[in-house]
């Protein structure tokens, strides 16, 4: 591990590379030529709430992030358990690191110029990361009920 300090991400910068030592890696070696060029956000394709939010995030990120339901791509990532896919979105970065839940969402959205504020807060504001993780767990645990609220406030937008 390097003695160099971790570079800071200003609230308006994009996230380019994951911070050293965060996430778990699915690769033992550097990415090969065939590895995806964009990070992949894997979600529950059977969850209407999840599909709605993925549709919104996709409209923000465009080609900067790829999206796929775990039901279609999960077997390609044996280091991510079925339960991890069920519990939270998983972001597989281009270098093979995996991020889950709130951190995965913040990292994905931080790819968009000017949308790095949440990731910056997650990394630097005391208490922000644990509160974000707790809120994510609450939302994920109640996503079917929250699906109705999402429709009321933001419209259908589920891509179906």
Each residue's pLDDT tens digit, 98-149: 999 999 999 999 999 999 999 999 999 999 999 999 999 999 998 877 767 7
20: left (phi over 0), alpha (psi -120 to 50) or beta: beta
Cα–Cα–Cα angle for 143, 144, 148, nearest 5°?
100
Cα–chain center distance at 32? 22
pLDDT at 48: 85
pLDDT at 37: 85
Domain edges within the chain: 32-154
Look up residue 154 and give its two tokens. Answer: 């933001």
For residue 97, is pLDDT > 90? yes
Domain at 32-154: CATH code: 3.40.30
For residue 156, is pLDDT > 90? no
**Residues above pLDDT 90, as percent of the chain:** 61
Radius of gyration of the chain, Cα coordinates, nearest whole angstrom: 16
Model confidence pTM above 0.85: no
Render pLDDT for 67-85 as a digit per residue (tens, 0 to 9).
Answer: 999 999 999 999 999 999 9
Q: What is each CA distance from 16 to 98, 147, 152, in whole angstroms?
A: 14, 31, 35
For residue 2, is pLDDT > 50? no
pLDDT at 154: 61
CA pair distance 46, 145, nearest whole angstrom:
15
CA pair distance 40, 148, nearest whole angstrom:
27
Query: Which position has the higher pLDDT, 156 or 160?
Result: 156
């Amino acid at each position: 591990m390097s003695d160099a300090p971790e570079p800071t991400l200003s609230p308006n910068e994009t996230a380019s590379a994951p911070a050293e030592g965060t996430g778990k890696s699915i690769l033992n070696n550097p990415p090969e030529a065939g590895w995806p060029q964009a990070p992949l956000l894997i979600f529950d394709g059977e969850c209407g709430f999840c599909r709605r939010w993925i549709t919104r995030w996709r409209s923000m990120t465009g080609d900067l992030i790829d999206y796929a339901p775990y039901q279609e791509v999960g077997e390609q990532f044996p280091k991510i358990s079925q339960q991890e896919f069920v519990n939270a979105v998983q972001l597989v970065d281009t270098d093979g690191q995996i991020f889950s839940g709130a951190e995965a969402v913040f990292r994905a959205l931080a790819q968009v110029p000017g949308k790095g504020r949440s990731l910056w807060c997650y990394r630097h504001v005391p208490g922000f990361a644990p509160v974000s993780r707790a809120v994510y767990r609450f939302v994920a645990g109640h996503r079917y009920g929250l699906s109705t609220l999402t429709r009321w406030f933001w419209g259908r937008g589920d891509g179906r």
